Amino acid sequence: MMGETIETSAPREARERLPVWLRLALPRSASYARTRNLIQNQRLHTVCESAKCPNHWECWSRGTATFMIAGDRCTRACGFCAVSTAKPLPLDPDEPNRVAEAVRAMKLRHAVITSVARDDLEDGGAGHFARTIEAVRALNPGIAIEVLVPDFLDKDTALDTVLAARPEIFNHNLETVRRLTPKVRHRATYERSLNVLRKVNQRRPAGLYTKSGLMVGLGETEAEVIDAMRDLRSVGCDILTIGQYLRPTAGHLPVVEYIKPEQFVRYARTARELGFLHVASGPLVRSSYHADDFHPQPMAPASAADCRRA
């Protein structure tokens, strides 16, 4: 199998038109099998599988994964996302402990925890996030924990619950530019997502960094992407990821354009000039792809002015 290439999870007619820079080498690795078996044995969900991430072959071969808690049924139906939309099941009270055990077995130094949107719950699942953070840290002292959260309907109590558990990185994705938000994620709003990040930065304890991500290739313009970067910096966002949108199934939004690698380089340069501390920008970049490349420091993040020298 080594040396073979795989396309992304887009439908067949889209796969045949993918540019060469989106073709991946199919790895053959004992680490991949170990990661897959561990996740299955612990009865855990990952965004790697549920969202049909094109990088899961590489990440699992590196012994990393992004844990998806609170089930695999989402209460929203975003036009880009492959996670199932259905009536959620009750929360599993033992899930935080199983995630913690998996993190220890994988010997992770940086754990990424995300979830489906749980608008059916009063706190949107914030308490479950907090319990998972606490369980992972108790069993894995010294680990850096990154959470990728839904917007919790902008509820202050939910945000405070997650922040009280003191993750090192708080990630909430803006996903797309202002103009396209109603089409791409119709039950979320551009301003609500910015407000979530604004509130977190106003409340942030020392040592917390905020992060967000954008997809491109949905029909946005370069000027709109740069405006979104500026909006994220205006609310204090520290870390940015930018990646190519890839259509997971024929029922999802079509790809309007495959952005060339050199454009991602330009986006990264602009983002750094705007003051982001860390930028990951490339065709296959996703929110948690190589998340451990950023190393949180035990200190408050630099100011926007200080960031400009990064």
> How many whole angstroms separate alpha carbon 288 and alpha carbon 184?
20
Q: pTM for this one?
A: 0.81
Look at residue 18 in the predicted model and tell me its pLDDT: 83
User: Per CATH, which fold does 28-307 belong to?
Assistant: TIM Barrel (3.20.20)
Would you list the domain boundaries of the chain?
Answer: 28-307
For 137-157, the pLDDT digits (tens) are 999 999 999 999 999 999 999
Evaluate if residue 198 carries a pLDDT over 80.
yes
Look at residue 279 in the predicted model and tell me its pLDDT: 95
Please name the residues in contact with 90: beta carbons below 8 A apart, sequence gap of 6 or more.
none
Per mean pLDDT, which range of 213-222, 244-253, 263-272 is the poorest? 244-253
Angle 143-137-52 from CA coordinates, rounded to 5°: 75
The helix (run of H) or strand (run of E) holding residue 135 is helix 126-139
Evaluate if residue 178 carries a pLDDT over 60.
yes
What confidence tier does 163 reach under pLDDT thresholds 50, 70, 90? very high
Look at residue 67 in the predicted model and tell me its pLDDT: 87
Average pLDDT of span 200-214: 94
Evaluate if residue 15 carries a pLDDT over 60.
no
For 47-86, the pLDDT digits (tens) are 444 444 554 445 544 545 688 899 888 888 777 676 777 8
For 21-36, the pLDDT digits (tens) are 887 666 555 665 666 6
What percent of the chain is helix, strand and coil (3-state, nearest 5)? Answer: 40, 15, 45
Look at residue 60 in the predicted model and tell me its pLDDT: 44
- Residue 43 or residue 234, greater confidence: 234
Evaluate if residue 223 carries a pLDDT over 90.
yes
Look at residue 6 in the predicted model and tell me its pLDDT: 39
